[in-house]
Amino acid sequence: MLDGFLALYVFMLAAFTGYEIIARVPVILHTPLMSGSNFIHGIVLVGAMIALGHAQTPFEMTIGFIGVLLGAGNAAGGYVVTERMLEMFKTSKPSAGKEAK
């Protein structure tokens, strides 16, 4: 269990981590990176699974089910889209050497 201040410290340090990672990123990667971070908050799926796993009434189950559905969509969609964007960077790499002479 995270008590109040420990939670605050974790929050602060994680926020700095995120800020620092992006601070030095080239413009060329902004879109893939936005998409990549969009995938990473797909971890919300885990929370939705827990919420559905603890749901008791049909009403709570419905909400939980929708949550898992949306969370799964965030994670899977985010992954596919990011992967497709980054795939292009791979194919352009060898041709860069060829064309530039």
Site for another protein in 1-30 (CB under 8 A): 1-2, 4, 7, 10-11, 14-19, 21-30
How near is the Cβ of 3 to another protein at its closest, in Å? 10
- The helix (H) or strand (E) run that includes residue 96 is helix 58-100
Q: Considering the complex, what minimum distance in angstroms separates the CB of residue 58 from another protein? A: 11
Quote the least distance from Cβ 34 to another protein, whole Å. 6
Contact present, 48 and 21 (Cβ < 8 Å): no
Residue 54 and residue 63: Cα distance in Å, rounded?
A: 11
What part of residues 22-81 is at the interface with another protein (CB under 8 A)? 22-57, 59-61, 63-81
Tokens coding 48: 């939705």
